[in-house]
Structure 1
């Protein structure tokens, strides 16, 4: 899990801005240039009231630097120009914070550049006074641009990060939608197969009803059993949208009885797989289908990422009212890193649709493990 540090300006923005405004106002009011470029405390009794008021207005404007950065900068610039009439007073780092906020929070790049130009214009006016040389003004130009540029870069990085998050969320929603559609199509085919079997059995019962009543009753009992199972499948389909039907086979979908054949197929592809099947009672068709697909996808991932010499084990067991599917592999040292993709998302979606859970991740001793817990009745989540 990746952790990111969030400072006070991100955790408590309003309180932090208030503290920043007070601190910078106090600094601009009480500090002045001393000998050898040092800062010394100013005698506050000598500060004119109108200077204190101008600095207070500039400091208070910082509280609104996120919501109205351009207006904040304009207020600070006006106060800065007024303080040119004073004896050595200036807005100090209040200007720096206001200019950074313009680069950071103004959406329109042209307006942000206008704020930078206004700040440089104020420097030009300051350079016309005896209090600042043109050399200091030139250094001020560079400093002002760097502060503005830092704020702009921070904004661009946050926008790019937000865009990447939106793209990841959109991709995740697309994968989930595709998987739901695929699952709905498979369940539709299961129901279609069951209804076809019911039709055949009902026709057989009608054909022999007159000459073989016992055989007709057995056929109708099979129809009843298939009908109940089909109703369960139909309930499971509720809420899952399915697009226009496409050409599919009419045969039954795979189930747990097909897992040995699947293991034989991956064995022919070079993967050493063993299976431990401790299931004693048959499961509903939709549970078998999802279980088979989870095993299939997990073994496909082992083939894709495991590397030469990897061994896998498939365990099918019961745990109370749940069926547990456990697929582990040894994972060779040359195995490529596994990142969440369509496969893991699809397996987790299958488990969730049945009201179950799925956990997947690396093993401490090496390799990878996928554990799915599916309710035996396969109730919809």
Structure 2
């Protein structure tokens, strides 16, 4: 096996200078090295007698060869080569078995593993054949057949080398599979975390879109109705003593507009009101929250509201407030998507509200054009009448921004700005079908 890191210190963490990743691995390898060194040292006594060298030399040779097993995780190839080299000396039984297992389980290329396994098997086979023939000759009890000795040597070779080699291959494949599964699990966890973040972002975006839509609707309803109420109240104050009949009429108009404003506000607030669950809230996945919020926004956006049919009434309300408003309709009227008609109505409504706020007494021209595949509207007012009384209506600066957001959301075009005559112009072009509906 290749190096896996460093051995652990007293605190359990890895320390530099070694290759063991865990203390248990270090204890196991050192223990195997001691047992192997002891085995080879004992077998070195017999090797010294056969080789004709002093016994201490044979013992030292065995101890040195057997202790190499401690390096099996760092250099498995070296361990197998040492076991092959000591095979003729008939030592290193544990060294050969553990070395082959470690080599097969490591990340060493399979070509090298097959080559070393073949060399080890060949060495064991040849040594077994030679030793067995020598034993047969010494015994002189019977003459074995020609195939008997090779067959016995082959069985012994397979018995010694095949189990550790196959078991090592199995452990290596299992380890690689587990690492692959862990990597896939980590990857899936990261993907789930990313999906959760995206779901949270989508939910946040849907909530923000809904808040923005409600803010636009509230601004349009309150600003327009209340602006007209303030204008009528100012007129009522001016004519209360001079023309009681007109004062009564203006008072009735103020009451009607207040009731209309309350009705629209109630309908909008009713959409926001939700029934509390009887059994208590239950945890909802983030993705479901995002989908529910987006669906609620889409459903709320598709509800019925003011349409182009009510444009004449809208203009008439401004006329009743004292403004001079001219309405021009071009093309053949037709029905559009509910969101398109409502947006067109709100654009004209907000433009008229801005006239009441910033251009009291100015003449206003409202143009509505029905074209092929789109509807266009334009509200243009002249300069403010200096003799007209200013209603002193506050301005939040959100009217043009809300109109632009409405039009852009449907894929339309919005343009606004002052005119050369000193007035102001608001123009918008909307597709006959909203972009969301087309999608």
TM range (shorter): 0.3 to 0.5
TM-score (structure 1 length as normaliser): 0.45
| TM-score, structure 2 as length reference | 0.40
Which structure has the larger Rg over C-alpha atoms?
2
